Structure 1
Amino acid sequence: MPLPAGPPPLWNRNFRLFFVARAVAVLGEGMVPVGLAAGLLGDGRPDSSVGYALGAWIGTFAALVLFGGVLADRFTARRMMIIADLLRLPGAAVLAVAFTVGSPPLWSVYALSALSGVGAALFQPGVASTIPRIASDVQRANAVLRVVESLMTMAGPALAGLLLAFSDVGTVFAVNAATFGVSALCLALMRIPALAHDRIARGSMRAELAIGWREFTARNWLWGVIAIWTVYGLTVAGPMTTLTATLVTGDHGSSTYGVLMAVNGAGNAAGGLLALRLRPRRPLAAGAVALLGLPVNLYLLGSGASVALLGAGQFIAGAAFAFWLVMWSTSVQTHVPQEALNRMHAYDVAGSLLMMAAGRALAGPVAEAVGAEHVLLVGAGIAVLVVGALLVVRPIRTLGRAHGT
């Protein structure tokens, strides 16, 4: 009598293709800020032009990601991710040509950055629902993807710098365009069986958003984490990104800042590897405890520690955040129904991104008023309170692993 077929191994054909798609896409995304800075500043544009170009991306992404979640639930995540890649590919190609032949007008750079933000808004919600469909071990899949994304986040700027040393800005954006092509091809080659809810009739966009909101608010642990995380993004994560750059660069130089960011990326990879081995019965509680590594980093930054200690803090913070992110992603992907998962992920991303963007914008004025070190030290205290809040809220603390994961 033949044995029943078990779940597919992690490295099945679909996961391998998705792994490559994510790796090359994150590599390409990491090249963009370097390419924009080199292209715009090299043409004599003001420093603010780089911020505006990146802001155009963030603005359109934040404004449209909720609609991206609805479209992914309606037309399937894979289809929307392919469309998103094919939308971003010609935009990057146009930038490649424009920077190669001359100095493109700022309005065109901003418009193409905004177009890339639209593509990202269509792409990102589908990541959450794709992983449970292609991997039987969702936590392991998330951990593996977190490791490669961390490595590619470090490799992207490095590759852009290498290309600029031997070529020009146009080459950076040409390679960026190619990464979207590779990603789209890999996604197109995936064969994901349709589920029953893929074929159900959908209502209007407004009705789908409303249904998604009801699904979101019906889960106390879900909206509880995101509510707490919005406070964290505004008061801790947003200011930390901006003030780390200004403090480290001002005290130790830009090269030291680059090395510390690489160390943070290595910590991210280590946190992903740790999540491959540990399978806590209460993932969110374990992830919250791991987040105690973040206030350590903030304290070291705010207290003027040596470069060696700053490196240790960055590694610890990177590992802590990666471990939390794997626990959080796995919990969402295994406890939320597939038919609502893309919209849930979109609400998560929109709330987190908007608050982090606000925190980054407010960091400068607040730091000028009270001092950057004081803002970071207060942020360290708030980060500890955030961990306490995550552990105090019972639905978050007691959420267990989904059956079979």
Structure 2
Amino acid sequence: MSIKASLFVLKDRDFGWFFASRFVNLAGSSMSHVALAFAVLEVSDSASALGYVVAAHTIPMVVFLLIGGVIADRFPRRLVLQLSNVASALTQAAAATLIISGHAEIWQLVVLEAMNGTAMAMAFPAMQGMVPQLVAKKDLQPANLLLSMSRSTLTILGPSIAALLVVGVGAGWALAVDALTWLLAALFLLRVRIPPRPADAEKTSALQDLRAGWTYFRSTTWLWVVVVAFAILNAIQSGGQQVLGPAYAKSSSIGVEGWGLGNSALAAGMLVMTIVLMRATIRRPLRAGMCGIMVFGLPFFALALWPQTVPFVVTMAVAGAGIEIFSLGWSLAMQENVPEEMLSRAYSYDALGSFVAMPVGQLLYGPLGAWFGARPVFLASGMLYVVVCLAVLSVPSVVRLQRVEQPATEGTPA
């Protein structure tokens, strides 16, 4: 597998337009986290206020995620994505207008981000199901690889560009750019044609499907153990990296520019590791993945012990490489070991479990930083992150899970 082998899928007209939609959407999203963080800090110089706004986005996304999956299975996924993109464009444009005009208040941003999070809950399950509808099974790997590489590349540039916009013209204009990309993404989807779905032989209710998915989820040890672990890890990451981190960076020698560089370094590490993994073989995907994700504790140690731009950027790059190892390992574990008829529901419960505690971290880290100081909180976070990963690696079904040997596909570009 190589970059060249992935590019050939763009010859397909429908996937090409879908890729264009995702590309511009990812370009805006890569800037939105930095832009939103410093937009809120312009309105209220408080990490707690930032936590409220970020949590307002995450909570409805978690609450409505399973409903979004049902909607994506009941209605055309392209239509669901288009409506979600338009809703996201309107909410970000409204937030940008309020901030640029100087009339923004925290409660207004909370409401708008709650609406944006609800739209994302509708979009995520539909987006997950689009690629298999657009490309043949033999092309799924190169198609997903191409999307992954574009995401990593844009994430390298996005945070730094957002930081420059924040410093140069203000955070509101960075949010306005994000709103424009959502609108363009919806327009590009107009050119995508989705084949009609075959009629199901047996009709089941959404509630029956959810119950069957839950039964499979709780009976598969490696699956629920990793998801429970990521409920904790994502709470740490979202609270430390999205709430306390930006507030601390603004008042430290790291600064807004350094924070943006760190986020770009994270993406650079992911991109480099993606290229490395094209030539590597992972035999035990979850063992490799958990070892990889463990290094995400390093940026917390850097913020606690060496709060300077260079150590922060370097550790973020290493963390990005670790994230990509986990991402590949988790995809291989899920796609090769979960039955195809259960895969979407397994991903749905995976996402719900992984995201459910994120608002807790987003709401707690501001007050924790005020009570104990940012650096002790970062140090405790890094230690807890490593301990959770080691606990998962002590579970036999996690470390013993092996790849399912796949037969070679004839005619696949090398």
Q: Normalized against structure 2, the TM-score is what? A: 0.78
Q: Mapping of 1:76-91 within 5 angstroms?
A: 77-91=77-91
Q: Deviations over 1:41-72 (max 9, x none)?
A: 66x66656655443322222121112112222
Query: Which position in structure 2 is the counterpart of 1:298?
Result: 300
- Greater displacement, 222-231 / 108-117: 108-117
Query: Which position in structure 1 is the counterpart of 2:390?
Result: 388
Q: Mapping of 1:83-122 within 5 angstroms?
A: 83-95=83-95, 103=103, 109-122=109-122
Q: Mapping of 1:311-322 within 5 angstroms?
A: 311-322=313-324
Q: Deviations over 1:220-247 (max 9, x none)?
A: 2221210222232345664455454455
Query: Which position in structure 1 is the counterpart of 2:410?
Result: none
TM-aligned CA deviation for residue 107 of structure 1: 5.4
TM-aligned CA deviation for residue 298 of structure 1: 3.4
**1:63 maps to 2:34:** no
One-letter code aligned to 2:20: V
Q: Mapping of 1:143-158 within 5 angstroms?
A: 143-158=145-160
Distance in 2, Cα, partners of 1:159 & 1:198: 47
- Greater displacement, 146-155 / 238-247: 238-247
Q: Mapping of 1:258-337 within 5 angstroms?
A: 258-304=260-306, 307-337=309-339
Q: Deviations over 1:16-50 (max 9, x none)?
A: 333322221122224445555676666x6665665
Secondary structure at 1:291's aligned position in 2? helix
**1:22 maps to 2:40:** no
One-letter code aligned to 1:224: V
Query: Which position in structure 2 is the counterpart of 1:123?
Result: 123
Query: Which position in structure 1 is the counterpart of 2:403?
Result: 401
Secondary structure at 1:267's aligned position in 2? helix
TM-aligned CA deviation for residue 370 of structure 1: 5.1
Residues 230 and 303 of structure 1: CA distance in aligned 2, closer, same or farther (over 3 Å) = same
Q: Mapping of 1:91-240 within 5 angstroms?
A: 91-95=91-95, 103=103, 109-133=109-133, 134=135, 136=138, 138-160=140-162, 172-194=174-196, 196=198, 201-203=203-205, 205-235=206-236, 238-239=239-240
Residues 106 and 298 of structure 1: CA distance in aligned 2, closer, same or farther (over 3 Å) = closer
Distance in 2, Cα, partners of 1:384 & 1:41: 30
- Greater displacement, 316-325 / 260-269: 260-269
One-letter code aligned to 1:221: W
Distance in 1, Cα, partners of 2:272 & 2:172: 34
Distance in 2, Cα, partners of 1:35 & 1:384: 29
Distance in 1, Cα, partners of 2:359 & 2:199: 35
Task: Indicate conservation of the 8 Å contact 2:57/2:116, yes or no.
Answer: yes
One-letter code aligned to 1:71: I
TM-aligned CA deviation for residue 197 of structure 1: 6.9
- For structure 1, the residue ranges without an aligned partner over 5 or more in a row are 1-6
Distance in 1, Cα, partners of 2:318 & 2:207: 43
One-letter code aligned to 1:401: R
- For structure 2, the residue ranges without an aligned partner over 5 or more in a row are 1-5, 408-414
TM-aligned CA deviation for residue 273 of structure 1: 2.6
Residues 137 and 244 of structure 1: CA distance in aligned 2, closer, same or farther (over 3 Å) = farther
Residues 240 and 400 of structure 1: CA distance in aligned 2, closer, same or farther (over 3 Å) = same
Task: Indicate conservation of the 8 Å contact 1:97/1:170, yes or no.
Answer: yes
Secondary structure at 2:393's aligned position in 1? helix
Residues 292 and 31 of structure 1: CA distance in aligned 2, closer, same or farther (over 3 Å) = closer
Residues 49 and 304 of structure 1: CA distance in aligned 2, closer, same or farther (over 3 Å) = closer
Task: Indicate conservation of the 8 Å contact 1:8/1:136, yes or no.
Answer: no
**Percent sequence identity over matched residues?**
28
- Greater displacement, 157-166 / 142-151: 157-166
Task: Indicate conservation of the 8 Å contact 2:52/2:110, yes or no.
Answer: yes
Residues 320 and 198 of structure 1: CA distance in aligned 2, closer, same or farther (over 3 Å) = farther
Task: Indicate conservation of the 8 Å contact 1:283/1:331, yes or no.
Answer: yes
Q: Deviations over 1:97-148 (max 9, x none)?
A: 6667773676554433222211100111233333444363545544432332
Distance in 1, Cα, partners of 2:239 & 2:296: 13
Distance in 1, Cα, partners of 2:294 & 2:172: 42
Residues 169 and 245 of structure 1: CA distance in aligned 2, closer, same or farther (over 3 Å) = closer
Query: Which position in structure 1 is the counterpart of 2:412?
Result: none
For this pair of structures, how many residues does the alignment match?
Answer: 397
Distance in 1, Cα, partners of 2:201 & 2:7: 24
Q: Deviations over 1:230-269 (max 9, x none)?
A: 2323456644554544554444141333322222222222
Task: Indicate conservation of the 8 Å contact 1:69/1:345, yes or no.
Answer: no
Distance in 1, Cα, partners of 2:261 & 2:395: 38
- Greater displacement, 159-168 / 385-394: 159-168
Distance in 1, Cα, partners of 2:278 & 2:173: 36
TM-aligned CA deviation for residue 306 of structure 1: 5.3
Q: Normalized against structure 1, the TM-score is what? A: 0.80
Distance in 2, Cα, partners of 1:53 & 1:18: 30
One-letter code aligned to 1:178: L
